Amino acid sequence: MSKAKDIKEDIIEEQVEATTEAETFEVEELSTEDKLTVELGQEKDKFLRLFAEFENYKKRTSKERVELFKTASKDVMVSMLPILDDFERALLHIEDDKEAEGLRKGVELIYQKLLSTLSQKGLAAIDVRQGDTFDSEKHQAITQVPAPSKKLKGKIIDVVEKGYKLGETIIRFPKVVIGQ
């Protein structure tokens, strides 16, 4: 069987060599017009590939530019969130002091302006209330405490820090305490 296999391989090699020689011979026998046609076809192929590559480059760079604007906005929004938290804490403490009514109104005005400006840019608070069902994809559990009632097992007991989203993307998950 190995002799038959060797003979078969030799025949295949001879056919390949003969075909290659015939192709070389055909290329040499082409007229100038045919050679120009072949060259034109090759150049056209190169052009089409280069054009397709350029179109892909344009699409990729425009997509990267859009992503850059989104992430730049996201970075600014994330850096502004602690300021919003500070305003909310200040408003809670100023409400206790009845003598600082003018100060409270001023801080409230500045807080509302900042909040409305950020809202216009796409920032929105995530609404989380006590008693809502805990969802690990929407909330960040800080700790678990024994539930005051059976109804609050696996539910949110307290919201420690507000969560925010920019458009449809959550940029800060609400930090919550859940009942065990």
What CATH number does the domain containing 169 carry? 2.30.22.10
Residue 139 lies inside a defined structural domain of this protein: yes
What's the confidence (pLDDT) of residue 9?
61
For the chain, the residue count is 180
Which residues constitute the domain of residue 136?
Answer: 124-180
Residue 93 lies inside a defined structural domain of this protein: no
Residue 143 lies inside a defined structural domain of this protein: yes
**pLDDT over threshold 90, residue 112:** yes
8 Å CB contact between 174 and 162: yes
What's the confidence (pLDDT) of residue 5?
56
3-state secondary structure of 18: helix
Residue 169 lies inside a defined structural domain of this protein: yes
Residue 157 lies inside a defined structural domain of this protein: yes
Q: What is the largest CA-CA distance in the chain?
A: 110
Residue 11 lies inside a defined structural domain of this protein: no
What's the confidence (pLDDT) of residue 6?
61
Residue 173 lies inside a defined structural domain of this protein: yes
